[in-house]
Structure 1
Amino acid sequence: MGFLVLAAVVIAAAHYYLWRRLVVDTTRPGRWRRVFTWAVAGIASVLLLTLTAGRFMDLTWLAWPGYVWVALMFYLTLILAVLEIPRLVARKTVAVDEDRRRLLGRGVALAAGVGAATTVGFGIASALGPPEVTRVPIALPRLDPRVRGLRIAVVSDIHLGPLTGIGHTERIVRLINESEADIVTIVGDLVDGTVAELGDLARPLADLERPSYFVTGNHEYFTRGGPQQWVDELERLGVRCLRNERVEITHGGGVFDLAGINDLGGRAFAEPPDLSRALDGRVPDRAVVLLAHQPVQVGDAAGHGVDLQLSGHTHGGQLWPFGAVVKAQQGAVAGLSEVDGTQLFVTRGAGYWGPPVRVGAPPEITVVELT
């Protein structure tokens, strides 16, 4: 409830600001100002309905305009805020009457509108386009030499939902199969809904051609009924779920451990991440690769001597400049880094959440080659 109240306050404040700059500053009092005022109120209502009632009923027909407007609203607000300084300078240094003030307001509104529409347009093309397949070699000093060259496909944040369609899953599966990976890892946030709602969209995962493993993300715990329904469904499709457990991966006569822990969201379901349990009984000098949805879990991984943690969750920021906020919260946004001797690789994810828009953070599937 607290989140919804905060969201409503932020949305109301943003729309009031947009109304002032896009309506009041560009029109005379009268009919057109009333028309545009009602239009702003209407789109704000659509957005609130999408974010609230959409959780409890099927409002797919509202999702596209509602979520696209989220991105437009954000970039309109951002650009208008940046333009406040030259706008104020112009008003202070040039004597203007009401007509010229409106002309200035219209120029600012046009610049913001063109900038926001262009940014969001390219962002939609990026989000809905095919994920980039990136290849990253990562050296693990403790890795059995016979395992060197093993390729791990890492995909996260697929976010199957009412806006994606089955083609989204089919394309991801095809790209993974074409990558010639030896094993496949799905590092959380696969879905935004129940098996009853989205089971058909997940069906192509049965076509993955290599051994496949999954760990929960926070969105699996947001789903009505919890994550167990998806654990059961994925097992039926041939994807093994690692829930605070590990498996031995053999390759070329060598062995390493692949461990997976629950997302931090599991704490509310009495299913917290438990790395001690996942690593219990393992050979101490054997290399271990950990699947953990959130990068911030790397602190625990380092404390347990994990060689490499593979994570997602961040979407690479998804909408610039949110990457800075994500880094402050998670410690890493994308790519390879190191924390207290444990290497951390964060993939940008193959889908999107909320707006079908990615700006400065194109979708990706990563193939990690162990060396």
Structure 2
Amino acid sequence: MTVLVFVLVALAVLALLALVHRWLWIRLVRDTGLTGWARRTGTAAFIALPLLSVAALTAGRAGAPFLLQQVVSWPGYLWLAVLLYLTLAMLALEPVRAVWLRRLRAASPAPATAPAPAPEPVRVPDTAPDPQSRPASRPESRPEPDREPAPAASEGTASGATGTTRWVFVARTLGGVAAAAALATVGQGTYGVLRGPRVKRVTVPLARLPRAQHGFRIAVVSDVHLGPVLGRAHTQRIVDTINSTQPDLVAVVGDLVDGDVADLGPAAEPLARIRSRHGSFFVTGNHEYFSGAQQWVDHVRELGLHPLENARTEMPGFDLAGVNDVAGEREGHGPDFAKALGDRDRARASVLLAHQPVVIHDAVRYGVDLQLSGHTHGGQMWPGEYLADLANPTVAGLERYGDTQLYVSRGAGAWGPPVRVGAPSDITVVELASYQT
């Protein structure tokens, strides 16, 4: 049943993509009056780009060579981002197009019609014709030379667009505006990802934190998504940013990778150079289970990170716990709050690392003071935050649930398109504050 649902959803998505591409082809290729090589190029692009996008989405799951994944991922994923904002821009300009064309129709004069020729008068002879006289020979009538019909009245030409009808001028103008807006948006969003995450600082007071640990700094890193697009250089930028904050502890809260250790081991290697006073800790995200969670748990341990697999460790003044991601339930390795938190001393403050915010209600039940999560990317690309809000209690930032506080990071990388719009990447330094004097 699950497979059938997946197939039906996949077919519906593919049908929607086909319809969107068909509509954009009509607006940007057919309506703009492209001909010759320009029309052929535009048509080929609207066929090749969606195929590359499908290849980017499926190559990893299909076990394609990593090099092939890299080749198709950049153009395929970037086109998905351009497609989103190109479609939104064209939809936003549809009312403008309709009003503009309506005004052009109203301003166009009705075609002029030539008046019907007046009938020639009939001449009546003064006298009857002589029957014996031969009729005068009439000159042989010759057909008039063919006259070329007058060209149909053009709808007019726009200034600076000689020979182009106003209707085509409208299509080209609006198409150009939409394409420029989409490309500028995606370009800015790509730059925001590739330059690396910025540091965000948040102060979180904990009632049970001892005064001696006031100001304890936790660098929260989530959703790095190393893969065919983001590689070793991106990891190095993240490590440099973490080390620049001089944290007391580093918490990597899932979705570190999209792929196998064999392919991404070199990309993850800079993680071994993270520096903090009390070490670096790791919990799995849903993408680790897509990639083979156990191999990554073993590998990050080799890099010097400490995996918390439904486990807990004591920090100065508080307990640090971590649970597996809920995606691990399919493999029998899901979150186990009883194992991680069940026998702890509740007089001590506690901080929980859990990839998905949805487990906050379990954290409340076990008396956790602060849960640190990621997963949502803050929506990553507007208007994605509204979709993320439907599936998560908190999309980004700090919120309180009973006596438990939840902080959700927007993440340090990007999944799919290496693009962020309205949800900049960050590494958050959570500074714990004590109420005690």
Partner of 1:355: 417
Matched, 1:191 2:197: no
- CA 1:29–1:134 in structure 2 vs 1: closer, same or farther (change >3 Å)? closer
Distance in 2 of aligned mates of 1:262 and 1:54 = 23
**Unaligned stretches of 5+ residues in structure 1:** none
Partner of 1:311: 373
Distance in 1 of aligned mates of 2:38 and 2:230 = 37
Partner of 2:396: 334
Matched, 1:131 2:197: yes
Write out per-residue CA displacement over residues 42-94 of structure 1, whole angstroms, 9 at most, x where no aligned residue: 21222222222343213211211111111111100011011111212222343
Question: Taking structure 1 as the reference length, what is the TM-score of the superposition?
Answer: 0.94
Write out per-residue CA displacement over residues 301-337 of structure 1, whole angstroms, 9 at most, x where no aligned residue: 1122211110111111111111111112112221111
What is the DSSP-based 3-state SS (H/G/I as helix, E as strand, rest coil) of the residue aligned with 2:267?
helix
Partner of 2:140: none
- CA 1:19–1:130 in structure 2 vs 1: closer, same or farther (change >3 Å)? same
Please tell me whether the aligned partners of residues 189 and 217 of structure 1 are also in contact (alpha carbons under 8 angstroms): yes
**How many angstroms does 1:264 deviate by?**
1.2
Matched, 1:281 2:347: no
Matched, 1:83 2:90: no
Letter of the 1:221 counterpart: Y
Aligned positions, number: 365
Distance in 2 of aligned mates of 1:200 and 1:34 = 42
* 182-191 vs 266-275, greater mean Cα deviation: 266-275
Q: 1:1-371 to 2 correspondence within 5 Å?
A: 1-2=6-7, 4-27=10-33, 32-55=38-61, 56-58=63-65, 59=68, 60-95=70-105, 97=155, 99-210=165-276, 211-223=279-291, 226-250=292-316, 255-371=317-433
Rg larger for? 2
Distance in 2 of aligned mates of 1:299 and 1:217 = 18
* 324-333 vs 209-218, greater mean Cα deviation: 324-333
Letter of the 2:223 counterpart: D
Please tell me whether the aligned partners of residues 222 and 409 of structure 2 are also in contact (alpha carbons under 8 angstroms): yes
Write out per-residue CA displacement over residues 199-231 of structure 1, whole angstroms, 9 at most, x where no aligned residue: 1111111112220100100100111xx200011
Please tell me whether the aligned partners of residues 251 and 280 of structure 2 are also in contact (alpha carbons under 8 angstroms): yes
Report percent identity of matched pairs. 49
Letter of the 1:160 counterpart: L
Please tell me whether the aligned partners of residues 4 and 52 of structure 1 are also in contact (alpha carbons under 8 angstroms): no
Letter of the 1:109 counterpart: G
What is the DSSP-based 3-state SS (H/G/I as helix, E as strand, rest coil) of the residue aligned with 1:367?
strand
Distance in 1 of aligned mates of 2:415 and 2:340 = 29
What is the DSSP-based 3-state SS (H/G/I as helix, E as strand, rest coil) of the residue aligned with 1:193?
coil
What is the DSSP-based 3-state SS (H/G/I as helix, E as strand, rest coil) of the residue aligned with 2:165?
helix
Distance in 2 of aligned mates of 1:67 and 1:57 = 16
**How many angstroms does 1:243 deviate by?**
1.1
Distance in 2 of aligned mates of 1:45 and 1:162 = 17
- CA 1:38–1:260 in structure 2 vs 1: closer, same or farther (change >3 Å)? same
What is the DSSP-based 3-state SS (H/G/I as helix, E as strand, rest coil) of the residue aligned with 2:427?
strand
Please tell me whether the aligned partners of residues 213 and 239 of structure 1 are also in contact (alpha carbons under 8 angstroms): yes
Question: Taking structure 2 as the reference length, what is the TM-score of the superposition?
Answer: 0.80
- CA 1:166–1:292 in structure 2 vs 1: closer, same or farther (change >3 Å)? same
- CA 1:93–1:286 in structure 2 vs 1: closer, same or farther (change >3 Å)? same
Which portions of structure 1, spanning 4 or more consecutive aligned residues, are displaced by more than 4 angstroms? 28-32
- CA 1:35–1:202 in structure 2 vs 1: closer, same or farther (change >3 Å)? closer
What is the DSSP-based 3-state SS (H/G/I as helix, E as strand, rest coil) of the residue aligned with 1:336?
strand
Please tell me whether the aligned partners of residues 198 and 425 of structure 2 are also in contact (alpha carbons under 8 angstroms): yes
Relative to its length, the structure with more helix (as a share) is 1
Please tell me whether the aligned partners of residues 271 and 303 of structure 2 are also in contact (alpha carbons under 8 angstroms): yes
Distance in 2 of aligned mates of 1:123 and 1:16 = 26
Distance in 2 of aligned mates of 1:368 and 1:28 = 55
Partner of 2:133: none
**How many angstroms does 1:137 deviate by?**
0.8
* 38-47 vs 1-10, greater mean Cα deviation: 1-10
Write out per-residue CA displacement over residues 235-273 of structure 1, whole angstroms, 9 at most, x where no aligned residue: 1111111111111102xxxx2111111111111111111
Partner of 2:132: none
What is the DSSP-based 3-state SS (H/G/I as helix, E as strand, rest coil) of the residue aligned with 1:232?
helix
Please tell me whether the aligned partners of residues 380 and 420 of structure 2 are also in contact (alpha carbons under 8 angstroms): yes
- CA 1:130–1:39 in structure 2 vs 1: closer, same or farther (change >3 Å)? closer
What is the DSSP-based 3-state SS (H/G/I as helix, E as strand, rest coil) of the residue aligned with 1:139?
strand
Superposition CA RMSD, Å = 1.7
Distance in 2 of aligned mates of 1:335 and 1:135 = 11
Letter of the 1:8 counterpart: L
Please tell me whether the aligned partners of residues 342 and 366 of structure 2 are also in contact (alpha carbons under 8 angstroms): no
**How many angstroms does 1:34 deviate by?**
4.2
What is the DSSP-based 3-state SS (H/G/I as helix, E as strand, rest coil) of the residue aligned with 1:306?
coil
